[in-house]
Chains A and B, each alone.
Chain A
Amino acid sequence: MISKTKYIQRFLWFFLASLAFYSCRKDDICTAGGTPKLGLAFYDFTQPDTLKKVDNLTVLALPGVDTLIHNASLDELKLPLNVNTDSCRFVLMDDQNPDTLQFNYTRQRAFVSKSCGYKIIFHQLTIVLQQDNDLWIKQIDIIKTTVQNDTIHVKILH
């Protein structure tokens, strides 16, 4: 028969080992992500199914005029919408030709997790293109009016 001290030793070793495994678990840091960005894709106006790059794209956020992208050649764009208000404006410049887009939406607060907190899901997305004499954006098609994950929501023809 094994003595009692042996039992104690065995149990305590087992307990210590399980403590070691406990410390191997994943830390509670946010990996699930937060508020999704609005995805824009640029298509050719003459052939609406082919992507077409904007050769010299600069993106500014109004009203603070923060430069988001400067002189890049892109066919896809991700915009972080304003989570504090129900609308926001961005200026998309092709070369030196600025076109202003106003995004209107409603906001829904959704809980992600303790470490990720709350995110916003945008509903009923509408876009107003401010008219000027020389628009390089020809047409705007909203594919998805609900922004709840990072995909393409809007098609811009130019």
Chain B
Amino acid sequence: MSKFFINLILICLFGSVSGQTTQDSTALQTPKTNLKLYKIRMGFDIGNFLWAKYKKDSATGFNLDANLYKDYYFLANFGQETHLTDNNLLNYTTIGRYFKIGIGYNLYHNWLDMNNDIMIGLQYAQANFDYFLHAYRINQPGAIYPPQTIYVDEKFLNNKAKWLEISTQIQVETFKHLFLGYNVAIKYLMSTSTINNFDISYIPGFNDKNTYSNFGFGLQYFISYQLTF
């Protein structure tokens, strides 16, 4: 794990250094207007992966973007998550998969041979997931006989959710063809399946669903590699 961090730090350091030198030597030159067409990048969601590892959960997410035409990109994400929720009253695990597809538009035009972008995106997403209830404690305000923790093994399988995401995403080329980026997304939950005697709470790819609101928020730090040259 520490080896990974050292590598990451090195990437950041050298990435910024090499970026600096190109900028210095090419300052005040005319901006390059045409982007390279048919650029395809494949990325891995490193931020959520590490955060999940730290919490003893798991989250593996991949993202793909392909430059289709001028500044327009095809965006796709897919992944799987295992997430434990323990809030004193309920203890359950969410296991599921998700995918997201959509269109991105690059707002940033590079100078010369730089290869960075700031993208806005609209994506449609769908998740399929299962809940495994391990234990619960009855909620009783003012209890004099304290409610016991009851251990069960209940499954609420095959739940579905659909949502839309508006995002901004920044990708910076550090080494040649290797990018670091992050993605901030606001999500709007359109529909979910219903469960008898349980409810949709955590959704893989969406995060926690608030009881009072259909909006969600997501942050991704990813590392991606350009497959085409």
Chain A contacts to B: CB under 8 angstroms = 4, 7-8, 11-12, 15, 18-19, 22, 25-26, 28, 30, 33-35, 37, 61, 64, 66, 68, 78, 80, 82-85, 88, 109-120
The reply to whether B212 and A117 form a contact with Cβ atoms under 8 Å apart is no
Cα separation A30 to B143 with both chains bound (whole Å): 16
**In the complex, which of the residues A4, A22, A30 contacts B109, with contact meaning CB atoms closer than 8 Å?**
A4
Give me the interface of B with A, judged by CB distance under 8 Å. 85, 87, 89-90, 107-109, 118, 120, 136-145, 147-148, 166, 168, 184, 186, 197-199, 201, 208, 210-213, 215, 217
User: In the bound complex, do residue A116 and residue B212 qualify as a contact, i.e. CB atoms below 8 Å apart?
Assistant: no
Cβ contact within 8 Å between B139 and A114: no
Residue of B nearest to A119 (CB): B139
A83-B143 CB under 8 A given contacts A26-B213, A113-B211: yes
Within the complex, the shortest CB–CB distance from B216 to chain A, in Å, comes to: 9
Quick check: A25 and B142 within 8 Å, CB to CB? no
B90:A68 contact, CB within 8 angstroms = no
Residues of B within 8 A of A119 (CB): 138-140
* Residue of A whose beta carbon sits closest to that of B200: A114
Contact of B215 among A22, A113, A114 (CB under 8 A): A22
Known: A11-B120, A19-B186, A111-B198. A116 touches B139 (CB 8 A): yes
Contact of A33 among B87, B89, B141 (CB under 8 A): B141
* In the bound complex, CA of A4 to CA of B96 (Å): 40
Given A118-B89, A119-B140, verify A84-B145 contact (CB < 8 Å).
yes
